[in-house]
Structure formats: structure tokens, C-alpha cells
Amino acid sequence: MENTKCWRLPDEAATQALGEALAQGVVPGLKIFLAGDLGAGKTTLSRALIRALGHAGPVKSPTYALVEVYVISSLYLYHFDFYRFESPEEFLDAGFGEHFNETSVCLVEWPERAAECLPAPDLRLFLHHTADGGRELEAVADTERGQACLNATISAGGVAACCVAPAPR
Ligand SMILES: Nc1ncnc2c1ncn2[C@@H]1O[C@H](COP(=O)(O)OP(=O)(O)O)[C@@H](O)[C@H]1O
Ligand SMILES: [Mg+2]
């Protein structure tokens, strides 16, 4: 199986559908990084994923709080956003490292702002704006757990039809 996959996401509903498909591959210990400009759809995708896991309440952007925690059945899911970090050491100062363990799930927006202080991801998602006003998502699996999540996402159906070859860069 390839470790890289790319999707065209023509509208918000497509981003949400991909978040729901990703939820099918969520297992304890999974770490997903979401990179992309402001407004690229990182929170939209995370929100759909968290809802698909069974969280019925609101899903706020963690931009101001830095982290929002969801307890879904017995699963702890941490949704981080490090946009406001001025240096990667803030990750260590905040004591966030302890949340990256084998029993919790971590979604991380703006991982580059915590850089080398962050544990390694299983799956990296890159969201881009496209010229037609939609989005494109590239997913790169770095571990077996990430690959299993990517495979589950692909077989979740619906969004599989949107798969295209990764854009040249
Ligand atoms: N595939 C898409 N095509 C067009 N608009 C989208 C798409 N996915 C999400 N959006 C819109 O773009 C915005 C993304 O905002 P948000 O998810 O908060 O981005 P981020 O967290 O990356 O800053 C929302 O207004 C959402 O409705
Ligand atoms: Mg966001």
C-alpha cells in the first residue's frame, strides 16, 4: 500500500466526509498532524472526525485554549492548535507531552509551531486551497498505525472516489 494519498475536496461537505472516513481508522495512541494555511479546513475536518467518533456536543476550535479534550466512551481525544505558540518550547512548558501516550488520540493543528518538541506523528495531513475555491488534502502515513488509519479511510467508501494522484510539487 502506498503511504501517500491525495483527495480533491470541492466543498465543505467533502472535507467533512473525509473527516468521517478518517474516524473509521482511529485507534488508541493515534497521532494525526494537520498542516495548512488559515482557513484550509483543519478544524472543519477535525470537527467531523470527533463527531463521527460519537461526540454529540459542540467542537470548538482550540485556537485560544490551545487544547480541547473530548472523552468519547473511554477514549481520550486531545485536539490541539499551536497557532499561537511563539516558540516550540511552549509545548514543553505547558506539559502537553504527557497527553501523547498509547491510550489517547491526538489531533494537532499547526504542529510546525511546536516543531521538534512534539512527538512524531503517525499520519500527516496537508490541506491546501485550490484555485477553484475548494481544497486538496494530501495524507502521508509515517507508521504502521498511520498506514492502517489511511487504509481504513480509503475503504470507508464515499470519499474513495475522490482520490487523485498527488499534485506535483
Ligand atoms: N473543501 C472545502 N472547500 C471549500 N471550503 C471549505 C472546504 N472545507 C472547509 N471549507 C471552509 O473553509 C473554512 C475552513 O475553516 P477552518 O476549518 O476553521 O480552517 P483551519 O482550521 O484550517 O484554519 C470554513 O469556513 C469551511 O466552511
Ligand atoms: Mg483551525
The response to whether residue 9 sits with its C-beta less than 6 Å from ligand 1 reads yes
Whether the CB of 46 sits within 6 Å of ligand 1 = no
Domain that includes residue 105, residue range = 4-164
Question: Is residue 139 assigned to a domain?
Answer: yes
Q: What is the CATH number of the domain that holds 86?
A: 3.40.50.300
Instruction: Count structural domains, the chain.
Output: 1
Domain assignment present for 13 = yes
Contacts of residue 58, defined as CB under 8 A and 6 or more positions apart, other chains included, come to: none
Q: State whether the beta carbon of 44 lies less than 6 angstroms from ligand 1.
A: yes
88: in domain? yes
In a domain, 169, yes or no: no
- The pLDDT value recorded for residue 159 is 56
pLDDT along the chain (169 residues), means of 10: 91 97 97 98 98 97 96 97 98 97 98 98 98 97 98 78 51
Residue 35: exposure state from Cβ atoms within 10 A (0-12, 13-18, ≥19): middle
Give the pLDDT of residue 102: 97
In angstroms, what is the span from residue 25 Cα to ligand 2's centroid? 21
What is the C-alpha to C-alpha distance for residues 11 and 9, in angstroms, rounded to an integer? 6
Is residue 49 assigned to a domain? Answer: yes
Looking from the CA of residue 44, the nearest atom of ligand 1 is: 17
The answer to whether position 108 is within a domain reads yes
3-state secondary structure of 155: helix
